Structure 1
Amino acid sequence: MRFLYAGLGLCCVALAIIGIVLPLLPTVPFLLLAAFFFANSSDRLHNWIVAHNVFGPMILDWRQRGAIRPGAKKAATVSIAAVFVLSLLLGAPGHILGIQAVVLTAVLTFIWSRPNG
Structure 2
Amino acid sequence: MKLALNLIGGIAVVLAILGVFLPLLPTTPFLLLASACFARGSTRLHAWLINNRVFGAYLRDVEQGRGIPLRGKVVALAMLWASIGYSAFAVGSMALVALLISIAAGVTIYLCAFVPTLRTR
Q: TM-score, normalised by structure 2?
A: 0.78
CA deviation map 1:30-84 (0-9, x unaligned): 2122122222333322211111122112221222116122232122212222223
Cα 1:92–1:84, aligned 2, differ >3 Å: closer, same or farther?
farther
Cα 1:81–1:41, aligned 2, differ >3 Å: closer, same or farther?
closer
- Give the 3-state SS of the residue equivalent to 2:117 in structure 1: coil
CA deviation map 1:11-32 (0-9, x unaligned): 1110111122223222222212
Q: Greater relative contact order (Cα 8 A, min sep 6): structure 1 or 2? A: 1
Distance 1:23 1:64 in 2: 28
Q: CA RMSD in A?
A: 2.1
- How many pairs were matched up? 117
Aligned position for 1:107: 107
- Give the 3-state SS of the residue equivalent to 1:4 in structure 2: helix
Matching residue's letter, 1:109: I
| Sequence identity (%) | 32
Q: Tell me whether 1:36 sits opposite 2:36 in the alignment.
A: yes
Q: TM-score, normalised by structure 1?
A: 0.80
Q: Assess if the C-alpha contact under 8 Å between 1:28 and 1:58 holds in 2.
A: no
Structure 2, gaps ≥5 residues long: none
Give how far 1:91 is off. 4.9
- Give the 3-state SS of the residue equivalent to 1:59 in structure 2: helix
Q: Which runs of 4+ in 1 moved over 3 A?
A: 1-4
Q: Tell me whether 1:84 sits opposite 2:84 in the alignment.
A: yes
Matching residue's letter, 1:115: P
Matching residue's letter, 1:51: N
Structure 1, gaps ≥5 residues long: none
